[in-house]
Amino acid sequence: MKRQLAGWVFAAPALIVIAVFFLGPVIAGLVLSFTDFDLYALADLRNLRMAGFDNYIHVLTLPLFWQSLRNTLYFVIVGVPLSIMLSLGCAVLLQSPLARFKPVFRTALFAPVVTTIVAVAVIWRYLYHTRYGLINAGLGAIGVDPIDWLGSPSWSMPAIILFAVWKNFGANMIILVAALQTIPDEMYEAARIDGASRWQQFVDITLPMLGPTLLMVSILTTSGYFQLFAEPYVMTQGGPLQSTVSVLYLMYEEGFRWWNLGKASAVAFLLFVLMVAVTQGILRVGRRAEAHT
């Protein structure tokens, strides 16, 4: 009994911090999602009404919510694999014994992760500029007509994805470089003696050995990408024609632009449920794949 108490006492500081800064706000948010807390309630609490599931029904019947969900899924489904493939590609190249100036490249590729998104967005807005942008100039040189990257509803999301992938791939790359260093050289040596090609070595040694790391990286990246917000906020403000409104952006607009905190909380909880479901799905797939090998 005494030992148990001692355990709780040691855990208490951490538990209190979690309760105050995590559980409390989460419960408050959940309660808020069942009220119509808004500007008027902010002025006078007597203007607050209990809304039951109205907020959830409102959000689920809102065309913009479904559009924002489609936009977010588009971003996740295209962005996550692209981002991880790029990270993996760069990590493998950096690990290659042929690579020179490794620290320089590692720093250069990691640099976007640590730069401020607002500053970088300014540069990317110039790169994407229809008439004066470097990207369109490059495309023009190979005969492609100028693309209206940030102004056309069909190109705005690819533009955001490109920007986000460039901004974020470095972090995963560093994790994968670390994981690659743990693969013993003997395995590659044995494979070479057995006559395995470079591609076979990659598929049969590198990938399986990276399995657990890749699983973790994909869960982290997926949950991160579901929370798409800063990129459209600084680049397009959700436009053009709401083609870059993500679920989180919708929540921000409802909550902090229009101050409908009830509805915003409902959006937040729906996103939370979705993210839990998706990451659980990835975990399950990952475990099954592991069981097979």
Partner 1 sequence: MRTLPISTSRRDWLRRTAAVAGAATLAGCARRSGTHTPRTLRFWALGRESEVVQELLPDFEREHPGLTVRVEQLPFTAAHEKLLTSFAGDSTPDVAQLGNTWVPEFAALNALMPLDAWIASAKAVDPTDYFDGIWRTNVIDGQAFGVPWYVDTRLLFYRRDLWRRAGFDRMPSDWTTFSSALDALQRLGIKHPLYLPLNEFEQLLALCLQQSESLLRDDGRYGNFRSSGFKKALGYYTERFHRGHAAAVDNNQIGNLHQEFGRGTFAAYISGPWNIGELDRRLGIARRNDWGTAPLPGPDGPGASNAGGSSLVVFRRTRRQDDALALLGYLSRPAVQLRFHALIGDLPPRRSAWSMQGADGSTLAQEPRAIAFAQQLERARPTPPVPEWERIVQEMQLVAWQAVKKHIPLDDAAALIDHRVDGFLEKRRWMMQRAAKA
Q: Footprint of partner 1 on this chain (CB under 8 A)?
A: 36, 38-40, 42-44, 47, 49, 118-119, 121-122, 125, 129-132, 148, 150-151, 153, 234, 236-237, 239-242, 256-259
Nearer Cβ to partner 1 (94/261): 261
Task: Please report how close the Cβ of residue 226 comes to partner 1 at its closest, in angstroms.
Answer: 23
Task: Please report how close the Cβ of residue 274 comes to partner 1 at its closest, in angstroms.
Answer: 24
Nearer Cβ to partner 1 (172/260): 260
Task: Please report how close the Cβ of residue 138 comes to partner 1 at its closest, in angstroms.
Answer: 18
Give CA separation, 172 vs 9, 53, 125, 231, 250, in Å.
Answer: 37, 39, 25, 18, 27
DSSP readout, 121-137? HHHHHHHT-TTT-HHHH
Residue with tokens 């495309």: 139
Task: Please report how close the Cβ of residue 118 comes to partner 1 at its closest, in angstroms.
Answer: 5
Question: How does DSSP classify residue 229?
Answer: -
Task: Please report how close the Cβ of residue 47 comes to partner 1 at its closest, in angstroms.
Answer: 6
Nearer Cβ to partner 1 (22/256): 256
What is the rounded CA–CA span in Å between residue 107 and residue 111?
6
The 10 Å CB-count burial string (b at 16+, else e) for 191-200 is beeeebeeee
CA dihedral sign, ordered 210, 215, 221, 224: negative
Nearer Cβ to partner 1 (10/256): 256
Nearer Cβ to partner 1 (80/148): 148
What is the rounded CA–CA span in Å between residue 42 and residue 46?
9
